Amino acid sequence: MAKSKSTSILRSLTGAAICFLLTTCQSKLAESGPALLALNDSNYFEAPGLNILVFSNSYDGMFDDSKMAGVEIVHHGLRTATNGDVRLNPTPGQWDLHPTLVERRVERDSNLIIAQLKYDDPQFTYQIQGRTVEGGFSISVWTDQPVPSALAGTAGLNLEFTPMPYFGRTWVMDERIGEIPQYPDGQMTTLSTGETEPLPIATGKRFSIAPDDPERHITVTTSGEDLMFYDGRNKAQNGWFVLRSLLPAGKSGKLVEWFITANTIPGWVRKPNIGHSQTGYLPIQPKLAVIELDKNDKSRPNASLLRVNDDGSTTEVLTTKPKEWGRWQRYDYVTFDFSSVTKPGVYKLSYGKQTTLAFPIADDVYQRAWHNTLDVFLPVQMDHMFVREAYRVWHGAPHLDDALQAPVNYSHWDGWRQGPVTGNKYKPLEHIPGLNVGGWFDAGDFDIQTPSQQAVINALVQLWEEFDVARDETLIDQANRYVEIHLPDGKPDVLQQIEHGALQLVAQVKAVGYALQGINESHLWQYRHLGDAANKTNNRNYTGQPEAQTYHPRSGERPYNHNSKDFDDRFAFTTRSAHLDYGSVTALAAAARTLRGYNDALAAECLASARKLFDDWQQHPIEDKEPFVAGYMTTLEARAAYELWRATGDATYRAHLDETLPNMLSAFSFNAPVLASMIPHLGNDFRDKLEPYVRDWVHNVLEPASRSTPFGVAVSRHSWAGNSLIISQATAACLLHKHYPALVDTKYVFAGLSYLYGTHADSDISFVSGVGAYNKRVAYGNNRADFSFIAGGVVPGIRLLKPDLPENRNDYPFIWSENEYVIDIAAAYILYVVAVNQMTQ
């Protein structure tokens, strides 16, 4: 492939310019050099300042390409490269084809890791081999058979570099130099399929990225197929920089080999991270700084608490040697307990040469910590509404054309599926009227997922009934589909948000007779939409039938010219299930109670819908021989019966609750927050009955979790980071402490808040946008293309990459498993903080 022409940002430089660049960098690199790698006990290649992983992580079965797979480079503590593998696109997107990992083998005697992978259509099996070689590292692709003809010119070895660490740096490809662009400005080409792909920025045999930065300088050379350097952000905002070599046709054995050298700084040690609460501390609560250290950092200076005086000076209040905690994942930890300091004021922490931002110790540190979540985040997430904040319009009224019946026997993306029947009177692709009301965008995308709608309503009902949260800072006008943030309207915002969620759940029952799985975009180009949600559809109901040649829901791009441009309505996924119906019974019965006297007509519809769904399943009970599923279903059934009994006083529902309550108790950990809220309504006998379960839960769940990490909470090892579980357990501890103060220590309550606000691994950032001195200002919300945030959003948190890397990207929003806002976490967070405020008062 010919070298691409230079652009306005990536200027081609030769001769004297190269000499100048290399001379400028020489002084920085004089004391640096290539790393000497070796296989460590965790089965990845390691040197001080450098780790190279070979398929320690593989592709996500649910979310496809998560930018956490293949050959990966952790360079001076930061993961800078990923997805080293054979791919079929120059700059692969999330839903582009990726291979399946068949086997990973470590040959320690040879300092070699071999990964066997395959593509199924067309069939192609190959190996990625990673090994240490003199002066660096080798990646190679091996096959027993030549590349299939269908993949010739398509399959290539890729390695992706995350953009943010390289902004302001340069690249060198043979005789050419360019600067890493902050914003993409490359050339595109149109393929015969009609899709577009970036052209390479440069082509050659030797490529260096960031030669002017000792911490990020990496060089890749090849003696075979050319290296091609791409900017994937031309194709998608979440694209990375990609280095690629095509696999040669008609050849087997070793097809491609790259030699990689990564500069390392001799004696490099990662700076200590002083984990602490960016929001501050109550005088009465435990105060524990958790200091994260490079495993090669053997120094142990004193830790100090400094009081910030009115004149800006500081006074040392407490100094001591930190306490050794030990190794967790790849880091060592020490702790500094300053709980003895209770005097209100402004403070900083110091350890060695590190000093934190200031934080308060005060009686009201959490009083406002939940306001942004209720005042800003939830309103921004409101579907079917125009949302304004002063001069800013967050979005117009979207999805007024909701929704079309999803096709049958259809698998969508991200786990969405429609079964063999619609389950209702509507035919596939027929408009289902009445669904264009209420509901919240589930997360950073714009779909409506029914379980999360249910969870938000349940949390808000508890806020209203148990904590009397009557805050009014938002105008919500359902009749005119209008929301204005920071404009009180004389109505409690919690009630108005309950109303908004109830409108969607009632609409589902009125439309098809039961709860939907949810409503999702019909085309991938809509699902990936970034910007105003009102522009995703034309807000006019589609009434025709799409032409077969234009209905490609997984197509990478929207057809530029076609006759079905009005076919943009979302799909309603209508496969019926007991857990969705019982979930709606629970939420609607609870909403019916709170809406009485506020919106009596909607309250009546909520209750009627809840009773209908409950009766449907009682008359046609589900049978499932799988113990977990059966137990889970009866747990949901018990919750539904409880809320109906509360809403009606009907003894029939109370009898059903008594019958199914043992299932809730047998899954106490899952149901702990709900069971805690049931105590005032079921009486002292129930409280006494619950006590041994609480004792066992503390002993077997909370206490082991508090010891499992230096942060006092358990950290999820799943493919989605675990702030949701931390909030759930801490909230349950707070609610149960009220009834069992001798059993449930408040340390379990406060550990969760400290963790959310900065006492965690990797950094000391607050996971709640807009809350705390240093907080999430780059997150995966619907404005993520702007590298921005939504105030009050709560991100998932620390993702543990195998085998031992805790990560939460503070510079890059598009890693959704670490940084994506979700509405049910947000509502649970409000409940948690409000409950803590009441407990401490």
Q: How far is CA 676 from the centre of its chain?
A: 28
In the predicted structure, residue 507 carries a pLDDT above the cut 60: yes
Predicted local distance difference test score (pLDDT) of residue 25: 47
CATH tag, 16-264: 2.70.98
Task: Name the residue ranges covered by the structural domains of the chain.
Answer: 16-264, 273-361, 394-581, 672-840
Q: 763: pLDDT confidence band, cut at 50, 70 and 90?
A: very high
CB of 810 closer than 8 Å to CB of 433: no
d(CA 138, CA 158) in angstroms, rounded, equals 14
User: What's the one-letter identity of residue 811?
Assistant: D
Q: What is the pLDDT of residues 188-210, one digit of tens each?
A: 998 887 788 999 999 999 999 99
Neighbours of 17 (CB within 10 A): 14
Comparing C-alpha atoms, which of 137, 115, 118, 138 is closest to residue 128?
A: 115
Task: Compute the CA torsion angle 291, 328, 673, 518 (nearest 10 deg).
Answer: 110
Mean pLDDT of 703-729: 96
Predicted local distance difference test score (pLDDT) of residue 630: 53
Comparing C-alpha atoms, which of 415, 728, 401, 387 is closest to residue 540?
A: 401
CB of 285 closer than 8 Å to CB of 748: no
In the predicted structure, residue 28 carries a pLDDT above the cut 70: no
Higher pLDDT, 719 or 283: 283
**What φ, ψ does residue 143 adopt, rounded to 5°?**
-140, 155
Predicted local distance difference test score (pLDDT) of residue 635: 85
In the predicted structure, residue 21 carries a pLDDT above the cut 80: no
**pTM over cut 0.95:** no
Q: What is the pLDDT of residues 447-506, one digit of tens each?
A: 999 999 999 999 999 999 999 999 999 999 999 999 999 999 999 999 999 999 999 999
Per CATH, 16-264 and 273-361 having the same topology is answered no
| Average model confidence (pLDDT) across the chain | 91
CATH tag, 672-840: 1.50.10.10
CB of 436 closer than 8 Å to CB of 401: yes
Predicted local distance difference test score (pLDDT) of residue 179: 95
Percentage with pLDDT > 70 across the chain: 92
In the predicted structure, residue 173 carries a pLDDT above the cut 50: yes
Q: How far is CA 408 from the centre of its chain?
A: 30
Between helix 668-697 and helix 723-739 the angle, nearest 10°, is 50
Q: 6: pLDDT confidence band, cut at 50, 70 and 90?
A: very low
SS3 string, 97-151, reads CCCEEEEEEEEHHHCEEEEEEEEECCEEEEEEEEEEECCEEEEEEEECCCCCHHH
Q: What CATH superfamily classification does 273-361 receive?
A: Immunoglobulins (2.60.40.10)
d(CA 756, CA 832) in angstroms, rounded, equals 11
